[in-house]
């Protein structure tokens, strides 16, 4: 966020607004924030997918959420005991849910990047 804001701060439209006497808060809220919002949203969606995968990984290892809280990692760990007993779907469905969830959040981030990029319009 800071790097994007600093990059936007030195653009010509900010300097032009400063020259004509627009207050600093209005420049920040009206010019810099809308242009810095796109990259921040894209990075946030990517970090959200990574956080979901990290939580599932920690829960799979048994150090994440408590056993009483539902988690995809816990469901995969519990289903792992039934994997070779012929009940493979117990582990397969939470794995598919985790993959689809993280993939959909990443696709949302890609869509946001394309939708909010002014160079692609």
- Our count of domains for the chain comes to 1
Q: Is the pLDDT of residue 118 over 70?
A: no
56 domain-assigned: yes
* Alpha helix positions (H), the chain: 2-9, 12-19, 24-27, 33-61, 72-80, 89-116
1 domain-assigned: no
94 domain-assigned: yes
69 and 63 Cβ atoms separated by less than 8 Å: no
8 domain-assigned: no
Cα dihedral: 89, 94, 95, 100 (round 10): 120
94 and 79 Cβ atoms separated by less than 8 Å: yes
26 domain-assigned: no
- Tens digits of per-residue pLDDT, 74-110? 999 989 888 888 888 889 999 999 999 999 999 998 8
Query: Of all residues in the chain, what percent carry a pLDDT higher than 90?
Result: 45
CA 53, CA 61: separation in Å to the nearest integer? 12
- Mean pLDDT across the stretch 59-82? 89
18 domain-assigned: no
Average pLDDT taken over every residue of the chain: 89
Domain housing 64: 37-120
11 domain-assigned: no
CA 52, CA 26: separation in Å to the nearest integer? 37
pLDDT value for 121:
64
107 domain-assigned: yes
Identify the burial level of 119 via C-beta atoms within 10 angstroms of its C-beta, where 0-12 means exposed, 13-18 middle and 19 or more buried: exposed
pLDDT value for 66:
86
């Amino acid at each position: 966020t800071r790097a994007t804001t600093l990059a936007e701060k030195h653009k010509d439209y900010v300097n032009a607004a400063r020259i004509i006497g627009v207050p600093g808060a209005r420049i920040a809220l009206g010019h810099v924030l809308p242009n810095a919002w796109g990259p921040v949203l894209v990075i946030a969606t990517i970090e959200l997918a990574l956080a979901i995968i990290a939580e599932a990984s920690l829960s799979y290892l048994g150090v994440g959420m408590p056993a009483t809280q539902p988690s995809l990692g816990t469901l995969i760990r519990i289903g792992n005991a039934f994997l070779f007993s012929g009940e493979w779907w117990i582990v397969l469905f939470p794995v598919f849910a985790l993959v689809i969830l993280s993939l959909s959040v990443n696709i949302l981030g890609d869509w946001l990047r394309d939708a909010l990029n002014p160079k692609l319009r």
